[in-house]
Amino acid sequence: MKTRITELFGIEYPVILSGMSWISVPELVAAVSNAGGLGILATGPLVPDETRESIRKIRSLTDKPFGANASLMLPGANLNANVLLEEQVPVINFALGKGDWLVEKAHAYGGKVIATVVNAYHAGRAQDYGADAVIATGHEAAGHGGDATSLVLIPSLADALDIPVIAAGGFVDGRGLSAALALGADAIAMGTRFMATRESPLHNNYKQLSVRKEIYDTLYSTRFDGIPCRMMDTKAARKAMKQGLNVFKLLEALPNSRDIARQMQLPYLKLLIGVTASGWKNARQMAYMANAFKGLRAATENGDIDTGFLPVGQAQGLIREEPAVAEVIDTIVAEAREINANMKKMLE
């Protein structure tokens, strides 16, 4: 298959692994890249040394192109992003911040940069300062999808931009790939589909839940981490959504943020003073993030169904098995080719 994205990144198929914290680890990244797609490492939970080690591990597992992400809002994100530049990661994906400096420095060594966006304004800004492509995250997506569904977001951005659009939100099979290409995208990014594969490190408790849940079994709210976010519908997620950031959860954010500072090897007092001085709006957002960090890790690593919660897309309801990554990609490509052939006959 050939699209602007396969040509830009030097990959065989226009299929990309979304960078999911605690899930898009080196083994899963390499599996996707080795199967002909583009794996993206999630650096959000990592300290710089772990990020560097992860990049080098990916390179020991594959000689194919790969990427890594940086969620610029998170504490320590700039430190991780600088590691990506130092290690000359082929593709850098940034979100939740302005990445013009990443574009400039990555382009200096021949790297490519993808901006994750949910609307035309941010997509246009990313194109203006030189991003090579955007990931358009539709409302159906896991995590931080926007207000518009993929069906309308993708063609609207394809019309507005000159750079390629990667469609995210609702894509798990060849039907989705074929539809995304027809809507003007040059690739699809998948998180929910890849988290339910044999190479995924997601705890088996949540893998089993993800293949049993239906398309309706998700919750979308700002009350998980302060940003509109889609989670798997569980008792723990409903409780978190109901509580939001009440007084008790605000107090709980203090020890949780201390744990994060310890894990990220950041000076806690300096972090606390910096967040407090940045104003109530930012401090409130960081408190949400601190509590969410704990819940997300409890789900992904520990499989804790009572306190953990997991970002998933509505497309979880289309998943009924846990195959290997290579099987997923091979099946998607074969299905898309068959669909396109049938469509050609239908339109003759």
Instruction: For 294-337, write each residue's pLDDT tens digit.
Output: 888 889 999 998 989 899 999 999 999 999 999 999 999 999 99
148 & 18 share domain: yes
Give the least confident one: 114-123, 229-238, 266-275.
Answer: 266-275
pLDDT of residue 226: 76
Domain that holds residue 223: 205-300
CATH number at residue 85: 3.20.20.70
User: Tokens at residue 217, please?
Assistant: 């079994």
CA distance 274 to 272: 5
- Are residues 246 and 341 located together in one domain of the fold? no
Calculate mean pLDDT across residues 39-47: 93
Report, as an integer, the average pLDDT of 12-33: 97
Banded model confidence at residue 240, pLDDT cuts 50, 70, 90: confident
Whether 317 is in a domain gets the answer no
Say if residue 139 is in the same domain as residue 284: no
If asked whether residues 170 and 284 sit together in one domain, one would say no
Q: Give me the helix-helix angle, 100-108 and 77-86, nearest 10°.
A: 20
Please check whether residues 149 and 289 belong to one and the same domain: no
Whether 282 and 178 map to the same domain: the answer is no
Q: Are residues 141 and 275 in the same domain?
A: no
Same domain, 18 and 127: yes
Provide the CA 22 distance to its chain's centre, in angstroms: 11
For residue 113, tell me if it sits in a domain. Answer: yes
Yes or no: say if 116 and 93 are a contact pair by the CB < 8 Å rule: yes
Pair (142, 229) in one structural domain: no
Asked whether residue 296 is domain-assigned, the answer is: yes
Cα angle at 124 between 121 and 129, to 5 degrees? 130
Q: What is the pLDDT of residue 224?
A: 82
Burial environment of residue 33 by CB neighbours within 10 A (0 to 12, 13 to 18, 19 or more):
buried
> In this predicted model, what pLDDT tens digit does every residue of 106-126 receive, in sequence order?
999 999 999 999 999 999 999
Q: What is the pLDDT of residues 189-213, one digit of tens each?
A: 999 999 999 999 999 999 999 999 9
pLDDT of 74 reads 72
Under 8 Å between Cβ of 117 and 107: no
Paired residues of 165 in beta bridges? 134
Are 241 and 286 in a shared domain?
A: yes
Closest CA to 36 of 336, 326, 324, 335: 326
Residue 100 included in any domain: yes
What percentage of the chain exceeds 90 in pLDDT?
Answer: 70
Average pLDDT over residues 260-286: 55
Q: Distances from the Cα of 331 to the Cαs of 3, 175, 176, 337, in angstroms?
A: 18, 11, 12, 10
